Amino acid sequence: MKRSTSSPKSNLILCLLTFLFLEICLLIISSALENRVLVFIVLFASGWLFWTFVEYSIHRFLMHELILPGKKDELFHHHHHHQNPGDLRVRWFHRLFLGISGIGVFWLAIYLNTSFTLLAGFFIGFLLYNLLHYLLHRPIGKYILPNVQRAHILHHTRYPRCGYSFSTILWDWLFDTLPPKDAKVTAQMKKNYFNQFIKVSNQM
């Protein structure tokens, strides 16, 4: 998709319509399936996809493009996060609570295997986002989600209007908000990004 020069609200509408089209297609597929395992997988994937779109949209349209009037940074403190990449407000006990809750929600979804599976996929997506955002700010993220981490480092440095996703590059790719292919992650960028670590790899 060609990079849009339209207004943030127009971009949001385009993104929303694209998401709805994909989500409706998945729901139609799930309703046509007879195999319960496949139904579960498609519904769960639909819920997860829903979360990743919400994640992308909040980051892009409420934290950066600011489609609504007012100071959104008072709500999200996103400017602080850009200045201090290693200072994440979600702590280990939050992640532990979410992890325990996620296990319960997942098993309940397997037991019910109904439309609740959509909600479960959404919640697990939110849970994974909290874990993945933590890992993206650690050197180990290079081995888990290398493309997402590269985009996230560039988002924190030279390209704040690119790389809005944390869980997947799908939406950045689809809506043309990936950083340029030839953009390099320099040693200085990594030093600032991994500011709580002394040793970081010089290869990205």
- What sign has the CA pseudo-torsion 90, 91, 95, 97? negative
pLDDT score at 141: 86
pLDDT score at 129: 87
User: What gap in Å lies between CA 108 and CA 170, rounded to an integer?
Assistant: 28
User: Could you list the mean pLDDT of each consecutive 10-residue stretch along the chain, which spans 204 residues?
Assistant: 67 94 95 90 94 93 71 55 57 64 73 82 88 84 90 89 91 94 89 61 42
Q: What is the pTM of this model?
A: 0.79
pLDDT score at 171: 96
How many CB atoms are closer than 10 A to CB 122? Answer: 20
User: What gap in Å lies between CA 82 and CA 80, rounded to an integer?
Assistant: 5
pLDDT score at 140: 87
pLDDT score at 95: 62
